[in-house]
Structure 1
Amino acid sequence: MRIGFTLPQFGELAHHPQHVARFAREAEALGADSLWVGDRLLDPVDPKVGYAGTDVIPPEFRSALDPFALLAAAATATERVQLGSNVINAPWYPPAVLARSLTSIDLLSAGRLLVGLGTGWSPEEYEASGIPMAERGRRLDECLDILTAWWTRNPVEYRGEHWTVPASHIDLKPAARPHPPVYLGAFAPAALTRAARRADGWLPIAPVGRKYAGSDPIADLVRNLAGVRETVEKEGRDPARFDAILRVNPDDDASVEDIAATIARAEREAGLTHCFVELSYLAKDVEQALDLAGRVLERARAS
């Protein structure tokens, strides 16, 4: 199992951005295989929609660093680890701007970028970004079209319902060929179908902690992954080439043993070969984050 960790981006960790490069460098030295960012814009005072099926939003989201800046910092501080996003909320960004940022990060990292995209869930974040939330699925589809064109054609031209790229010379292409792998975060049926039809892989989540004791996220993962791969095959694609990278999302009461057990089950029961651990709820500073990363790696690889 390849194991990665989130970069210091949210909560208390976000207040010390000067340590991001050091975390990336030392996590790589510990044996981490990948480093990840998310994409939070704000934490509304009275949210219309809570996080992960709840009525509230974690206080960690009140402090958030920019995902592109963190990926660029990690790219220049490391040599081996892959760099991923889970997820960039693609409809917030003009696709040409997004393509430029992702291409730059892929080149900075010499082709180590894993592009994870999604649509988000917060009405207030859509309001702040100036994009109608009802259009998010259609805008994501157009974004995927434009990213493919941006990375594989020259000149590039696109005219859609929501986005336009005038015929343009785009000489700078990603180091990864033909382009960085694109994963989609998806849970609703239509989103899962989009992932099966259009993406290189899926980004599922496995929560860990006492408040999830009545559920079995790995059993859910096994069932949902089988369904997605069945849809991949119906779309005329090879399900064996459709990847999945698991986000292990521990609550603040989860132990290293809980996390390692979840990773072991994901490998044994779902056949996954890559996961990463969210550290925002467990670590208050970079030293604690690195200590957790080291202990998770040691425990998981001893299983």
Structure 2
Amino acid sequence: MRIGFSLPVFGKAAATPGGIARYARAAEQAGAAGLWVGDRLLSPVAPAVPYPGYDTMPEEFWTAQDPFAALAVAAAVTETAVLGSSTINATQYQPANLARLLTSIDVASNGRLLPGLGIGWSPDEYAAVGVPMSERGKRLDDLLDLLDTWWTKDIVSHEGVGYTIPDTHVALKPVRKPPVHLAGFGEKALRRVAERADGWLPVWSVPETFPAEMLTSALAKIRAGAEQAGRDPRALGLALRVNAGSGTKPELIAESMAKIVPLLEPDHVFVDLTYLTGSVDEHLDLTGRLLELTAKG
């Protein structure tokens, strides 16, 4: 099992000068298959909607790096690791700027970008960027249309949701069209994955907080929906994020991964270390330990 890890974009490790570059370089050298980012713009003191599973916002999110800057740094100091996001809150960004960012990172990494996109859940973040939260679904559909045009046409024009792009030259193209994966568990989200995405972004928790059947049944729905849409269901990718709770032993993480990975057979799997480490050195130590444990499995 080849596994990846979250870059230190949250928590105390994220505040370490040069920490992302040092971690990315060392993790790839140790055998990490992928380096991943999440996306958190705000950590409100009194959030309109608390973080799932919490009464407020976890302290780890009080310190948050920009995910695109982190991916660009990682691209500059690595050669082989997949550079992924799980998940970028895509509809909180201006679409043309986002398209250019993603393209630039793919070119910088020589085609290693795996953009995982979602629509977020925080009303506070949507208010901060001036985007109506009620429009996030149609804005994601619009963004997918724009990305397809941006990456395949030399002259791009687009009438989007709240913006217009006139005929414009877009000569910078990705090394290969990045495989856009989408997050979500609701019916609409799963249908969008089935009909429009290159892959899905499921999440598994350690310690386990829900049965594996929740993921396997959702995957079955996606594949059935893809087939109904005339798509090859087996061609859809799967990038599994493993969320490890604070204090979770690496042995339990490896044991749980050995259970869920054969059931889902993901193309990519990574462990989110956000709640487990407080420094870049701890991030690296745990990375090495998990690589050892999963290699044995």
TM-score, normalising length from structure 2? 0.97
* Separation in 1, partners of 2:52, 2:195: 25
Supply the AA of the counterpart residue of 1:201: G
| Partner SS, residue 181 of structure 1 | coil
* Separation in 1, partners of 2:100, 2:52: 31
| Partner SS, residue 42 of structure 1 | coil
Supply the AA of the counterpart residue of 2:199: G
Would you say the 8 A contact 1:35–1:84 is kept in 2? yes
Cα deviation for residue 187 of structure 1 reads 1.5
Would you say the 8 A contact 2:6–2:36 is kept in 1? yes
User: Do residues 249 (structure 1) and 243 (structure 2) align?
Assistant: yes
Supply the AA of the counterpart residue of 1:142: D
Structure 1 residues 8-87: aligned runs within 5 Å: 8-87=8-87
Structure 1 residues 95-110: aligned runs within 5 Å: 95-110=95-110
> CA separation of 1:273/1:161 partners in 2, compared to 1, >3 Å: closer, same or farther?
closer
Q: 1:198 maps to what in 2? A: 196
Select 1:293's aligned residue among 287, 291, 295.
287
Supply the AA of the counterpart residue of 2:151: W
* Separation in 2, partners of 1:205, 1:56: 21
User: Do residues 3 (structure 1) and 27 (structure 2) align?
Assistant: no
Q: 1:180 maps to what in 2? A: 178
Q: 2:262 maps to what in 1? A: 268
Cα deviation for residue 278 of structure 1 reads 0.5
Deviations 1:93-113 (A, max 9, x none): 111100111111101100000
| Partner SS, residue 3 of structure 2 | strand
Structure 1: gaps of 5 or more residues: none
* Separation in 1, partners of 2:6, 2:131: 27
Cα deviation for residue 53 of structure 1 reads 4.7
Deviations 1:198-228 (A, max 9, x none): 110000101112xx45x32x23211211111
* Separation in 2, partners of 1:62, 1:27: 24
| Partner SS, residue 41 of structure 1 | coil
Q: Percent identity?
A: 51
* Separation in 2, partners of 1:231, 1:55: 36
* Separation in 2, partners of 1:88, 1:267: 23
Q: 1:88 maps to what in 2? A: 88
| Partner SS, residue 245 of structure 1 | strand
Would you say the 8 A contact 2:116–2:181 is kept in 1? yes
Select 1:223's aligned residue among 210, 217, 226.
217
Does 65-74 or 51-60 show the bigger shift? 51-60
Would you say the 8 A contact 1:267–1:273 is kept in 2? no
Supply the AA of the counterpart residue of 1:206: W
* Separation in 1, partners of 2:269, 2:38: 15
| Partner SS, residue 39 of structure 2 | coil
Structure 2: gaps of 5 or more residues: none
> CA separation of 1:91/1:273 partners in 2, compared to 1, >3 Å: closer, same or farther?
closer
Does 95-104 or 153-162 show the bigger shift? 153-162
Cα deviation for residue 51 of structure 1 reads 2.0
| Partner SS, residue 175 of structure 1 | coil
* Separation in 1, partners of 2:261, 2:153: 37
Aligned residue pair count: 297
Cα deviation for residue 54 of structure 1 reads 4.0
Supply the AA of the counterpart residue of 2:257: I
Deviations 1:181-205 (A, max 9, x none): 1000112111111111111000010
Cα deviation for residue 19 of structure 1 reads 1.5
